[in-house]
Amino acid sequence: MNFAFFDLETTGTSPAFDHPLQFAAILTDAEFKEIERVNLRCRLAPHVIPSPQALAVTGVRPHQLVDPDLPSLFEFAQALTELVSRWSPAIWTGFNSIRFDEEMLRQMFYQNLQPEIFVTQFNGNTRFDIMTAVFAVFQRCPDLLKWPVDETGRVRFKLDRLAPENGFEGHNAHDALGDVEATIHLARLIAERAPDLWQQLLANRDKSHVQAQLEQFEPVELVGRFGGGPPKAIMGCLCGYAAKNQNQAYLFDLDAMDPEELITASDANLMAAMDAEPRPLRSISINKVPMLLPPATVTDEQRRRALALAEAPELRQRLIAAMTARYPTDPDTAPQHVERQIFNGFYSWNDKARLKEFQGADWPRRQEIVATFEDARLRQLGARLVAFHSPNLLSDSDRRRYIAWRRDRWNASTETEVEWMTLEKARQALLEMKAASAQDPAMLDEIEAFILELGTGIASGELT
């Protein structure tokens, strides 16, 4: 199967409240021979303040954010949906892509009313992450790659350090296309130097394969970074699945404690065991390509503990119940912002049909469709898109409501914990960056002028 290596440059680090500015991708065959490449950019969404740090790191100049020759974020989302369809089926692959780039894409598709937000997982598509593959190499085959270290002697697993250390020349870090090329280089090295490990890692793209390994109730190794330290392997055995999310499995750490000691434990002692160090249960997202591997070696004691857990279904149920009780849902929690409601249920078939029509309609028809959505999330996001892209369709009251919403969003008090970039946060970030003297002063002046212009516009009540 082909690989679709991709990377994003974004307005910031929050998938829910930032968005991509650049999408670069290279389609290769299974031997990493290039088939096609794309490098796409878009304008800044009207409701987003870009992170000054992100602009400084990526080198995106403020004037590029409002370049009229670039597509809007809505048009950008449509173009990427079409690209994924055209390149399918493929293995969508990046460096830290599953936990960042994939989530950023998913939010972009969701907030721009794409009919299918999981396009990189449907129609024969799967996904893979070279960063976690690197972790597995470090733990299983440490001599396969050279490991860059910082001034404290700690190994650094950042792409802009790893790729050059291992022979990749001319890496244009913090440019999406440069990062894609560096990622392909590392993937090729792993595949060529450790083909058996590479195939084992690739197999975890299929969550049924992950389940099959787990449901043998025998020792398996989970490789990852736990607590921010270097990658390591945890020898575990399946405990079970979360009641409300069958994609979330719990792995019992066979070296943390003996499950037989918990069989007769009281509920209070069982709950206390959940807080012990090392933690006895580890959560695994079976649909996010966990680095689950057959054990290199297994001790007799580990086998005994796995068998004891397998033969104690009531204990497994109690452990999962205790784990769930550690993170209860607070009924008094404030309502989530619509961005945080992305996984709050599936759309109805009627709404899915309306979403498809929405994508091909003109804006007056889109406004009509928005009013017919059954899902409140779609009505809210759709009304936002109409305000962004066809403000002339708004009534006077809707126009005032949108202006007030954006003003309140951008001027949120620093005493309020908000997840998005505000004008005050941006100003504070610029002050700190100037004090650190680590960035180009001319670039910082440009960003500062741009942020000031945004603030002036919102204060005057400009709609776009």
Identify the CATH number of the domain in which residue 182 sits.
Answer: 3.30.420.10
Pair 376, 408 in one domain: no
Pair 42, 169 in one domain: yes
Pair 309, 247 in one domain: yes
**pLDDT on residue 378:** 97
CA separation, residue 119 to residues 52, 99, 102, 205, 334 (Å):
31, 16, 10, 15, 31
d(CA 298, CA 236) in angstroms, rounded, equals: 11
**What's the DSSP call for residue 346?**
P
Which of 138, 171, 197 is a domain's end point?
197
d(CA 135, CA 248) in angstroms, rounded, equals: 21
Pair 275, 369 in one domain: no
| 421 found inside a domain | yes
- Strand 2-10 and strand 126-129: pairing? unpaired
Pair 173, 302 in one domain: no
Torsion sign over Cα 55, 59, 63, 65 = negative
| 339 found inside a domain | no
Q: What's the domain range around 282? A: 205-326
Q: Tens-digit pLDDT profile for the chain (464 aa)?
A: 999 999 999 999 999 999 999 999 999 999 999 999 999 999 999 999 999 999 998 889 999 999 999 999 999 999 999 999 999 999 999 999 999 999 999 999 999 999 999 999 999 999 999 999 999 999 999 999 999 999 888 999 999 999 999 999 877 766 789 999 999 999 999 999 999 999 999 999 999 999 999 999 999 999 998 877 889 999 999 999 998 888 999 999 999 999 999 988 888 888 888 888 888 999 999 999 999 999 989 999 999 999 999 999 999 999 998 888 876 655 445 568 999 999 999 999 999 999 999 999 999 999 999 999 999 999 999 999 999 999 999 999 999 999 999 999 999 876 678 899 999 999 999 999 998 877 888 999 999 999 999 988 776 666 55
Torsion sign over Cα 93, 99, 102, 104 = negative
Pair 217, 193 in one domain: no
Pair 12, 160 in one domain: yes
| 335 found inside a domain | no
Q: How many CB atoms within 10 Å of residue 139? A: 19
Q: CATH no. for residue 230?
A: 3.30.1520.20
When computed from its CA atoms, the radius of gyration of the chain, rounded to whole angstroms, is 24
| 261 found inside a domain | yes
Pair 320, 177 in one domain: no
Task: Give me 366's structure tokens.
Answer: 């889109």
**pLDDT on residue 245:** 87
| Residues pairing with 92 in the sheet | 4, 127
d(CA 260, CA 266) in angstroms, rounded, equals: 13
Which of 308, 326, 344 is a domain's end point?
326
Pair 239, 357 in one domain: no
| Residues pairing with 40 in the sheet | 23
Helical (H) or strand (E) element with 242: strand 232-242
CB 368 within 8 A of CB 354: no
Task: Give me 460's structure tokens.
Answer: 């005057």
Pair 227, 284 in one domain: yes
d(CA 217, CA 239) in angstroms, rounded, equals: 8
How many structural domains does the chain have?
4
Give residue 227's region: left, alpha or beta (phi > 0; psi -120 to 50).
Answer: left
| 112 found inside a domain | yes
Residue 292, C-beta contacts closer than 8 angstroms, at least 6 positions apart: 204, 210, 213, 214, 220, 221, 222, 223, 284
| 346 found inside a domain | no
Buried b (16+ CB within 10 A) or exposed e, 90-129: bbbbbbbbbebbbebbbbbbbbbbbbbbebbbeeebbbbb
Pair 192, 220 in one domain: no
d(CA 371, CA 382) in angstroms, rounded, equals: 9
| Residues pairing with 155 in the sheet | 149
Which of 168, 197, 226 is a domain's end point?
197
Residue 64 exposed, middle or buried by CB count within 10 Å (0-12, 13-18, 19+) = middle
CB 355 within 8 A of CB 114: yes
Beta strands in 95-149 (DSSP E): 126-129
Helical (H) or strand (E) element with 366: helix 363-372
Residue 82, C-beta contacts closer than 8 angstroms, at least 6 positions apart: none
| 345 found inside a domain | no
Pair 57, 154 in one domain: yes
| 389 found inside a domain | yes
CA angle 79/81/84 to nearest 5° reads: 110
